[in-house]
Amino acid sequence: MWQDAVNASLEIVGGAMVCASIRRLVRDKRVRGIHPSHVAYSVASGIWFVYYYAHLDQLLSFWCALAYAAAVSTWAVLMVAYCARELACGTEL
Query: Mind listing the pLDDT tens digit for each residue in 48-87?
Result: 999 999 999 999 999 999 999 999 999 999 999 999 988 8
CATH topology for the 2-89 domain: Monooxygenase (1.20.1280)
pLDDT at 89: 83
Which residue would you say has higher pLDDT here, 43 or 35? 43
DSSP letters, the chain, are -HHHHHHHHHHHHHHHHHHHHHHHHHHHTS--S--HHHHHHHHHHHHHHHHHHHHTT-HHHHHHHHHHHHHHHHHHHHHHHHHHHHHHHT---
In which band, very low, low, confident or very high, does the pLDDT at 43 lie, cut at 50, 70 and 90? very high
Would you list the domain boundaries of the chain? Answer: 2-89
Given a cut of 60, is residue 4 above it in pLDDT?
Answer: yes
Averaged pLDDT for residues 41-50:
96
Averaged pLDDT for residues 29-54:
92
Span 5-31, pLDDT tens digits? 999 999 999 999 999 999 999 999 988
